[in-house]
Structure 1
């Protein structure tokens, strides 16, 4: 895999490594029950946020099992509004994509724009073959993002997650590099 050149910029966003100064903004949304609603874990305490931020800031992306963890901020307004993670899955050329946004970043196309930039990196520069996103079936906002990214619903696993005292169904969305490239062509 080639070196990843950071930050990644888009029309409206900067995707960069996490920094110690992100703790206050990171914890502000990670501590909210609404943020953790569709996560397999509860909202984070300040200590847990500090530990997570430390892992994110020091993450490497050189082999299977590694995570590329990026802070999302607006180009014209510094300060993080969320995060995007690309996890290198076992098996040749496979990755998983995920995102979490602060309340002030939701509903503005930020997750879609950030995810599209990381998908471009994954397919066009890093040579991945397949990217998926796994989400709670009730997470309709993330499902809509997946569809905007050109991902198709591959599977619905009924009651396969048990978290927060209840069973939940998992939706798996995915896109192949060939599908990505077809969407990028001028005739698509």
Structure 2
């Protein structure tokens, strides 16, 4: 039987990382139709409420159920509003490794939520799940995601040439696809030593080690 992640909820200073629910559908639809999110995502473009509901009800739970990884909503701890999403995929349960991806909603950018949520997730992954390696992957032109990886203390290990597809909106409103490189980063348990303090000194919020 393939191992699976538990149905987890992780609290950080400002966020709750939890399973998606149907209340997220309107915000998820808006987020997925943001040009920056749509450019680097395999979801339908444009994304309808039906597409978002399909993700919430069927596809996101299946990510966990089939052992491939985990799909979590990033929600504001005070309002409950969706501010982004996290994804673990291609989990290797023997090696205890997984790839990581993150998307932030346009109304929540510039607040440090990506770094805060990824740090909360990786603390849980290394401490509670005894994983040994996380591999964030960022598109070569996604400098914001690369800055998050660097702030987390990830090590850049190389480039996967032409390994991802990006989309750009043409003048007529249609989406056009183009291939791009992926930068592979790594994070190991020992890389977290002193990291929350370093993030706090740089003005970021420090996640609590609080999960249920």
Q: Same fold (TM over 0.5)?
A: yes
> Relative contact order, CA 8 A, sep 6+: which one is greater?
2
The alpha carbon displacement at 1:166 in A equals 2.0
User: TM-score, with normalisation over the residues of structure 2?
Assistant: 0.76
Equivalent residues of 2:10, 2:16 under 8 A apart: yes
Q: Deviations over 1:4-48 (max 9, x none)?
A: 474211111111111111111111111222211222455323332
Whether 1:97 and 2:100 are equivalent positions in the alignment is yes
Partner residue of 1:174 out of 186, 203, 208: 186
Aligned length: 185
Displacement of 1:173: 0.9
Gaps of 5+ in 1: none
Q: Distance in 1 between matches of 2:50 and 2:21?
A: 16
User: Structure 1-normalised TM-score?
Assistant: 0.85
Show the 5 A alignment for 1:116-131: 116-131=119-134
Superposition pairs for residues 103-142 of structure 1, below 5 Å?
103-142=106-145
C-alpha deviations, 1:125-168, integer Å up to 9, x for none? 00111000112110000011111111111111233334543221
Question: 1:75 corresponds to which residue?
Answer: 77
Structure 1 residues 17 and 37: alpha-carbon distance in aligned structure 2, compared to 1, 3 A threshold: same
Q: Work out the CA distance in 2 between the residues paired with 1:154 and 1:57.
A: 29
- Is residue 63–residue 88 contact of structure 1 (8 Å, CA) maintained in 2? no
Q: Which residue of 2 aligns with 1:144?
A: 147
Cα separation, 1, equivalents of 2:7 and 2:44: 33
Distance 1:8 1:27, change over 3 A: same
- Partner of 2:184, secondary structure, is strand
Structure 2 gaps, min length 5: 168-176, 199-212
Secondary structure of 2:29 counterpart? helix
SS state at 2:124 partner: helix
Comparing 89-98 with 108-117, greater Cα deviation is found at 89-98
Distance 1:45 1:134 in 2: 27
User: CA offset at residue 185 of structure 1?
Assistant: 9.2
- Given that residues 33 and 42 in structure 1 are in contact (C-alpha distance below 8 angstroms), is that contact kept between their aligned partners in structure 2? no
- The aligned counterpart of 1:24 is 26
Q: CA RMSD in A?
A: 2.6
Query: Within 5 A, what are the aligned runs for 1:8-19?
Result: 8-19=10-21
Cα 1:142–1:178 change in 2 (3 A) is same
Change (3 A) 1:3 1:102: closer
Tell me the CA shift for residue 183 of structure 1. 3.8
